[in-house]
Amino acid sequence: MKKWSMALVLLFCGMCLFAQSLFDVVTTGTPEQVQAAIKAGARIDDRDNWFSDTPLMWAAFLNENPDVIMALLNAGADGTIKSSEGKTAFDYAQQNQKLEGTKAYWDLNNARF
């Protein structure tokens, strides 16, 4: 019984740590890493402590790979959420030249409504 309890605690703690790292994954990670984090229990529409940004907002601003944004959108990330500054993920994407004109860019535009 003790072994099972410890295994469950380790599994739960690992999932919590992995869920918290979704912000890290979306900044420089791959679509596969994003999907793995979500599958492991990452909260897709979680908010950071600075501006109440979501992982989708971080990806739109910092990641140059449009497939990362598509992975988040396909997993159900909410593009209508606004940060504490009133910005959506599309507002951040407009500052990321690598996304300009891509399918992800236009899907973010559509997702904000």
Q: How many domains does the chain have?
A: 1
Q: 88 near 82, Cβ under 8 Å?
A: yes
Average pLDDT, the chain: 88
Specify the pTM: 0.82
Domain span holding position 79: 2-111
pLDDT tens by residue, 23-45: 999 999 999 999 999 999 999 99
The CATH number of the domain holding residue 80 is: 1.25.40.20
Which residue stretches of the chain have pLDDT < 70? 1-20
